[in-house]
């Protein structure tokens, strides 16, 4: 149990581009930071949680021109949408920065000038490949198939007078930061950055532009505006008052504890931001947590797909907390997470309606039915209590650790393991049988008390993740404010023995899966039609006469079906035969996010030694199955080579890397 007594804690989301409406991808990072901020406040930290919008740049200027309004009028409207979404999602940010705010503008001008005066910014001419949507220049070697490595869109040649930020003086320190410290999470990404960007020689960064006006003017050369990253990244310090008088929190909160971003902007936060801070002689942030993308039909959820999975629409149907829970539970740090309505609805049903919801409603209903709502004083402990109590009181320490590691899916998994344990406890103790015999009432009261205490602990910890619904749980279990303080979560016995419960509404109603999917599909196809670009001709039509024939009897599937299969690299950490089987080997795999077990039918073709240490292709989203007593979580790919079976081995690919 951590108690922080006012210790400072500073967490930030990226500042989002208000070039289109916020979507579920933005919700992920923001809900994740919000949950951490709330958790840290519960632990007693003095938290600063910053979010905001990154409002300058060519793309916004273009969009505003298209809409026939000024860039400021354009962003004002969208910023309102971000703010109302955050309100709707119950995001408890302490500060919202807009890069068009005067204090930020003045501070960025000062930072730019300081860097120039120190000799880290110089004037040159930029020639290169430029991705307009990402506002990024790329070197030839960084392009993927000639296209932008971040978004996959075409790049154009660009050339203009520009100021540059010298990166090379910081290369060595940054390499050390990435490889020798805990700055970047997950660490597996460090190698990729070092190999792709640092080893080939860090290119200087273009930091001003003359070809558009919607930016912060460079004070000493007014035809230039500050270009993207010095403006955007500085927000993390200007919002605290660095370089301005608007706030006075820089000394209190800097360096940040966590910057959270997705992998699209990892490079800027892992390399450029530390370099800027080094150049300014400022301390570096403690951690950069990089998560993957929420994808839909295999594509990154982005503005064009935004209305297909509109967070307001989902929230209206299931409640903001259910959405928060689903996205936080699905995304493992570092890996992508494919958004599917079906998985979301099933998860809401399984974890929230059947798991937590049922636990609360059953317990409260039994307390009302058997004791009129108020438990009697006299109680008696018995079998199964110790295990439940041990698991419930150990939970906060586990959640603390996962929150500190920004592994929120694991924190939620741990909490729901205790929910499952409590539901099992009901089956083990059979309160309905105890209720038949008056002499068992003391035991029955004890069972219900233990359940209420477990619900109290679980819901207190969950309130950081699902802040709207947990107060409804507290109301039902008769817990007042003091009973749901974080520092009561590692002990049993906080609720009064004679607690009174209050039956209330069902917190998470069960969803009729089939009906709901039907309705959602209708909504989605309407949204897709509305946002559809002219349809591409089917691939088969484009093929010349040499098009490959598919083998007979093999169904053709669409890319959307293939994309449902999640393939990733996984390293075999250990391997052993399965006792009851001649065919199966039990593999322990590192899938980039943690360990998992897979049973594979290759015992006749490989010895454990031949497999241990190798990296293989894992189908990581197969439903778990129990094979000869081993729970198998996925499948590894192998080729059928006639009489032989050959596992597909990968070389130099980090566990967790997606394969498609």
Binding site for ligand ME8 (CB under 6 A): 14-17, 25-26, 28-29, 54, 232-233, 235, 261-262, 264-265, 293-294, 300-302
Minimum separation from the CB atom of position 294 to ligand ME8 (A): 4
Is residue 268 within 8 A of residue 259, CB to CB? The reply is no
Closer CB to ligand ME8, 543 or 660, in the complex: 660
| SS3 label, residue 217 | strand
Q: In 254-383, where does DSSP find H-type helix?
A: 266-267, 273-279, 311-318, 320-330, 341-347, 358-371
d(CA 255, CA 274) in angstroms, rounded, equals: 11
- Per DSSP bridges, beta strands 225-226 and 208-209 are antiparallel
Closer CB to ligand ME8, 285 or 431, in the complex: 285
Sequence-separated (6 or more) residues with CB below 8 Å from residue 41: 47, 92
- Which of these, 468, 469, 434, lies nearest to 451 by C-alpha position? 434
Q: Which residues pair with 165 in a beta bridge?
A: 121, 205
Closer CB to ligand ME8, 265 or 458, in the complex: 265
Closer CB to ligand ME8, 174 or 237, in the complex: 237
Minimum separation from the CB atom of position 291 to ligand ME8 (A): 6
Minimum separation from the CB atom of position 499 to ligand ME8 (A): 42
Minimum separation from the CB atom of position 640 to ligand ME8 (A): 36
Minimum separation from the CB atom of position 255 to ligand ME8 (A): 15
- Per DSSP bridges, beta strands 585-590 and 595-600 are antiparallel
Minimum separation from the CB atom of position 231 to ligand ME8 (A): 9
Closer CB to ligand ME8, 16 or 126, in the complex: 16
Backbone angles phi, psi at 591, to 5 degrees: -100, 20
Minimum separation from the CB atom of position 293 to ligand ME8 (A): 4
Minimum separation from the CB atom of position 469 to ligand ME8 (A): 24
Closer CB to ligand ME8, 75 or 477, in the complex: 75
Minimum separation from the CB atom of position 100 to ligand ME8 (A): 13
| 141 class by beta-carbon count within 10 Å (0-12 exposed, 13-18 middle, 19+ buried) | exposed
Backbone angles phi, psi at 284, to 5 degrees: -90, 150
Closer CB to ligand ME8, 26 or 129, in the complex: 26
Closer CB to ligand ME8, 29 or 358, in the complex: 29
d(CA 435, CA 437) in angstroms, rounded, equals: 6
Closer CB to ligand ME8, 57 or 355, in the complex: 57
Minimum separation from the CB atom of position 133 to ligand ME8 (A): 9
Backbone angles phi, psi at 146, to 5 degrees: 75, 5
Closer CB to ligand ME8, 294 or 569, in the complex: 294
Sequence-separated (6 or more) residues with CB below 8 Å from residue 2: 43, 400
Q: How many CB atoms within 10 Å of residue 339?
A: 24
* Terminal-residue alpha carbon distance, the chain: 42
Is residue 559 within 8 A of residue 603, CB to CB? The reply is no
Minimum separation from the CB atom of position 235 to ligand ME8 (A): 6
DSSP for residue 18: T
Is residue 48 within 8 A of residue 10, CB to CB? The reply is yes
- Which of these, 47, 27, 24, lies nearest to 36 by C-alpha position? 47
Minimum separation from the CB atom of position 254 to ligand ME8 (A): 15
- Per DSSP bridges, beta strands 258-262 and 8-16 are parallel
Q: Which residue is nearest to ligand ME8 (CB)?
A: 25
Closer CB to ligand ME8, 108 or 367, in the complex: 108
> If you count them, how many residues does the chain have?
660
Helix H or strand E encompassing 431? helix 431-434
Is residue 35 within 8 A of residue 324, CB to CB? The reply is yes
Cα torsion angle, 431, 432, 433, 435, sign: positive
Closer CB to ligand ME8, 407 or 450, in the complex: 407
Minimum separation from the CB atom of position 419 to ligand ME8 (A): 27
Is residue 49 within 8 A of residue 35, CB to CB? The reply is no
Cα torsion angle, 481, 47, 467, 425, sign: negative
d(CA 587, CA 596) in angstroms, rounded, equals: 8
Closer CB to ligand ME8, 137 or 605, in the complex: 137
Closer CB to ligand ME8, 268 or 371, in the complex: 268
d(CA 380, CA 421) in angstroms, rounded, equals: 20
Minimum separation from the CB atom of position 332 to ligand ME8 (A): 13
The 136-138 sheet, strands edge to edge: 136-138, 121-131, 156-165, 205-206
Closer CB to ligand ME8, 151 or 171, in the complex: 151
Minimum separation from the CB atom of position 350 to ligand ME8 (A): 23
């Amino acid at each position: 149990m951590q108690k922080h007594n006012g210790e400072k804690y500073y967490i930030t989301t990226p500042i989002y581009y208000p070039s289109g409406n916020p979507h579920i991808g933005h919700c992920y990072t923001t809900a994740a930071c919000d949950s951490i901020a709330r958790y840290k406040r519960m632990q007693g930290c003095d938290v600063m949680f910053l979010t905001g919008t990154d409002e300058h740049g060519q793309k916004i200027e273009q969009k505003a021109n298209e809409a026939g309004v000024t860039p400021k009028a354009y962003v004002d409207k969208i910023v309102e949408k971000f703010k109302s979404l955050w309100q709707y999602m119950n995001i408890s940010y302490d500060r919202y920065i807009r890069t068009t705010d005067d204090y930020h503008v003045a501070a960025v001008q000062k930072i730019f000038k300081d860097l120039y005066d120190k000799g880290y910014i110089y004037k040159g001419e930029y020639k290169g490949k430029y991705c307009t949507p990402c506002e990024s220049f790329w070197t030839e070697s960084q392009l993927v198939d000639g296209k932008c490595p971040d978004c996959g869109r075409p790049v154009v040649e660009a050339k203009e007078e520009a100021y540059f930020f010298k990166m090379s003086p910081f290369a060595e320190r940054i390499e050390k930061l990435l490889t020798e410290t805990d700055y970047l999470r997950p660490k597996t990404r460090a190698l990729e950055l070092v190999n792709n960007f640092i080893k080939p020689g860090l290119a200087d960064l273009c930091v001003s532009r003359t070809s558009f006006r919607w930016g912060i003017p460079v004070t000493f050369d007014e035809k230039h505006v500050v270009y993207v990253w010095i403006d955007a990244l500085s927000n993390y310090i200007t919002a605290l008052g660095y370089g301005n008088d608007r706030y006075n929190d820089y000394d209190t909160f800097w360096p940040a504890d966590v910057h959270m971003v997705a992998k699209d902007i990892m490079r800027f936060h892992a390399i450029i931001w530390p370099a800027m801070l080094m150049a300014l002689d400022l301390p570096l942030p403690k951690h950069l947590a990089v998560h993957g993308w929420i994808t839909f039909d295999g594509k990154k959820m982005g503005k064009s797909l935004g209305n297909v999975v509109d967070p307001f629409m989902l929230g209206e149907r299931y409640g903001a907390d259910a959405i928060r829970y689903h996205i936080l539970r699905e995304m493992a740090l570092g890996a992508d997470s494919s958004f599917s309505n079906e998985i979301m609805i099933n998860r809401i049903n399984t974890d929230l309606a059947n798991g937590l919801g049922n636990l609360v409603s059953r317990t409260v209903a039994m307390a009302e039915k058997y004791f009129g709502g108020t438990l009697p004083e006299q109680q008696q402990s018995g079998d199964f209590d110790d295990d439940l109590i041990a698991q419930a009181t150990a939970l906060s320490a586990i959640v603390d650790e996962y929150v500190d590691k920004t592994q929120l899916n694991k924190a939620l998994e741990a909490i729901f393991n205790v929910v499952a344990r409590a539901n099992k406890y009901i089956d083990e103790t059979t309160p309905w049988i105890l209720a038949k015999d008056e002499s068992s009432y003391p035991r029955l009261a004890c069972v219900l008390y233990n359940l209420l205490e477990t619900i109290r602990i679980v819901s207190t910890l969950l309130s950081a993740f699902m802040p709207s619904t947990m107060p409804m749980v507290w109301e039902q279990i008769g817990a007042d404010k003091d009973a749901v303080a974080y520092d009561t979560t590692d002990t049993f016995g906080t609720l009064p023995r004679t607690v009174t419960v209050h039956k209330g509404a069902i917190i998470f109603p069960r969803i009729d899966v089939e009906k709901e999917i039907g309705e959602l599909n209708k909504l989605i196809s309407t949204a897709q039609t509305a946002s559809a670009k002219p349809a591409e001709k089917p691939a088969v039509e484009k093929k010349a006469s040499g098009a490959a024939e598919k083998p007979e009897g093999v169904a053709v599937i669409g890319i959307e079906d293939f994309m449902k299969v999640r393939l990733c690299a996984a390293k075999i950490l250990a391997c052993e035969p399965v006792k009851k089987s001649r065919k199966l080997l039990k593999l322990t795999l590192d899938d980039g996010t943690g360990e998992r077990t897979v049973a594979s039918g290759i015992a006749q073709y490989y010895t454990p030694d031949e497999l241990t240490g190798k990296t293989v292709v894992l189908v990581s989203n197969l439903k778990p199955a129990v094979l000869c007593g081993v729970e198998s979580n996925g499948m590894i790919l192998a080729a059928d080579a006639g009489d032989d079976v050959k596992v597909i081995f990968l070389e130099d690919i980090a566990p967790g890397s997606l394969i498609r």
